[in-house]
Amino acid sequence: MAESPSGRKVLVTGGAGFIGSHLVDRLLERGDQVVVLDNFNDFYDPQVKRHNIKEQTGHPAYRLVEGDIRDDRALSRTVALGPFDVVVHLAAMAGVRPSITQPALYMDVNVLGTQKLLAALLGSGWTGRFVFGSSSSVYGNRSGESFLETDRVDQPLSPYAASKAAGELLCYSIHHTSGIPVVCLRFFTVFGPRQRPDLAIHKFCRRIDEGLPVEIFGDGTSKRDYTFVSDIVSGIERSMTCDLSGFEIVNLGRSKPVVLMEMIRSLESALGKKANLVHQPVQIGDMPYTYASIEKARRLLGYEPSTDFDEGVRQFVDWYAGCRQPVSP
């Protein structure tokens, strides 16, 4: 691996995924050395991830390890490529609804996998910074006000949410016992180019484009704090370099929730097509709304999201129209 002008070496787990691949793009542009650990699982078509990293794999400062965070041999191969100044841990089983039918798998990957990754790093004598990708889902069923990092998170609505809350607790215990600085970032409904095909904006876009029915769970008044991926990446990047020696939990969102029907209208406008809506009952595990307080992110990280929602949708639709990657239904 070529020497990095910045002298920084970064491990990104899940670095071939949606958020991870965008982060890796940014780090390589900065001149960092990047090691990616990804298992290319079949939660959705692995070829989508391989397409995400197509331009990265030839970069002299990029190294890919194909393997699972629960696999000791894969972890040993990865740790041997260090020491890393920062580890950004994004590898996880994602998705609220699938976690309801596979709770053991979500706990195994998201909690045990995180533990094994940390054990492998600390066992090598590593003393860098750990950035953990958490989720707004930890906040559970809320109403009326923005979500603060100090709010209780002990009533998760799904095994996925529970696994992320448990991951945060694990990170705190590791910080307490080892002294490594840790930042847990709670991401709020990230969207943009390369978005996973199971997520609402991508799924709705494809179904509107193909003239298929679009299922609306509930009355269409649920709200999500949709946050464009480049703003999330900026927040991650700032968390890697901010003045920090302890343990912090930080929301990364846009702090401007969007009603579900407004999201659909924005997609219709960008596509120039109308949605064929089919209403269904609310699904178990779904949160009625998300709304990030980002005052701590502003104060600690200098974070300031800059991408308007409709502009973000237009950028997503441009990407979708330009590639129409093969995706799972």
Of 44, 62, 139, 160, which one is the catalytic site residue?
A: 160
Q: Which CATH number does 9-195+226-256+289-306 carry? A: 3.40.50.720
Residue 12, CA distances (Å) to 20, 25, 215, 229 in order: 7, 11, 35, 16
Does this model's pTM top 0.85?
yes
Q: What is the mean pLDDT of residues 238-249?
A: 93
Q: Could you read off the pLDDT of 274-307 as tens digits, one per residue?
A: 999 998 877 776 778 899 999 999 999 999 999 9
By residue count, the chain amounts to: 329
Handedness of CA 44, 15, 293, 151 (dihedral sign): positive
What is the overall mean pLDDT for the chain? 92
Residue 221: the pLDDT is 79
For residues 6 and 47, the model is more confident at 47
The number of helices, as runs of H, and strands, as runs of E, in the chain is 12, 13
The yes-or-no answer on residue 160 being catalytic is yes
**326 prior amide bond cis, ω within 30:** no
Q: Could you read off the pLDDT of 48-62 as tens digits, one per residue?
A: 999 999 999 999 999
Residue 6: the pLDDT is 55
pLDDT over 80 at 2, yes or no: no
Residue 324: the pLDDT is 61
Nearest CA among 74, 68, 49 for reference residue 113? 68
- Distance, in Å, from the CA atom of 24 to the CA atom of 32, rounded to the nearest integer, reads 9
pLDDT over 60 at 5, yes or no: no
Burial class (CB in 10 A: 0-12, 13-18, 19+), 217: middle
150-155-161-163 Cα dihedral, nearest 10 degrees: 90
For residues 215 and 19, the model is more confident at 19
Long-range (24+ apart) CB contacts under 8 A made by 54-59 are 56/21, 56/24, 56/25, 56/28, 59/28
- Distance, in Å, from the CA atom of 280 to the CA atom of 36, rounded to the nearest integer, reads 40
Residue 215: the pLDDT is 87
